[in-house]
Amino acid sequence: MMTYWNCGKIPTVSAPTPGKRKLRSEQHSGRKDGAARLIARAVLPTRYGVFLVYGFSGSKAGTGAIALVCGRGNRKTTPLVRIHSQCLTGDVLTSLRCDCRAQLEFALKAIGQARSGVLLYLPQEGRGIGLMNKLRAYELQDRGMDTVEANERLGFPADPRDYGFSAQVLKRLGMTTIRLLSNNPEKARQLERSGIRIIQLVPCQPRVSRVCHGYLRTKKHKMGHLLGDI
């Protein structure tokens, strides 16, 4: 179990600490047990506070996560957790077709203001179908399909993401009881099946462009996301 730090204060991560020796042993131990392996950690100052960033990998190819951690764990505080899937078009290129960047910024601000929390950033582009397939889905959406219909036309489920590895990372961080910042009940169900206790599902509904309202309506009516008036 790891210790995490107060947002806004810059912790010292020095080279000769026992933690660093442990990092090296995990990187080169060749473990095959499928558990989340800590690869690296560093201080990450952001607009929303100073976080510790941890890099984790799993035994399956392509399995990994980045954890931005804020606050100091204790039994009196339940951490606020956001699990965010990578979205190059939204997070980086500021696309208005989705609400991903708005949710990412909303989550970082909320976690930075909370007493403790973590944002897990997962390499699950396009709800797990990959960047090129996401662009193919966009092309189908330009022809009139919604996001679910486009995925299914390409031979994918509406949402094939798996959150088992996210649960492993949360356990490594000592966060087995959490408040989950999400509109997705399926995400909560998967985490609970993997041993994470969720005491509150906190809505993640930032203000977004009207451009993506159709996308959000599809998520609400076809994927069961808990969204308000869209």
Residue type (1 letter), 128? G
Pairing of strands 177-181, 80-85: parallel
Beta strand residue intervals within 129-220, DSSP E:
177-181, 197-202
Residue type (1 letter), 43? V
Catalytic residue among 127, 161, 172, 179: 161
* Residue 101: active-site member: no
* Residue 229: active-site member: no
- Tell me the CA distances in angstroms from 14 to 21, 42, 78, one per residue in order: 11, 10, 28
Burial pattern 157-184, b for ≥16 Cβ within 10 A else e, equals ebbebebebbbbbbbbbebeebbbbbbb
Q: How many CA atoms lie within 13 A of 44 on its CB side?
A: 20
Catalytic residue among 127, 159, 172, 179: 159
DSSP label at residue 84: E
- The rounded distance, in Å, linking the Cα atoms of 113 and 165 is 26
DSSP label at residue 31: -
**Tokens 């094939």 correspond to what residue?**
160
- The rounded distance, in Å, linking the Cα atoms of 220 and 211 is 16
Which residues belong to the active site? 159, 161
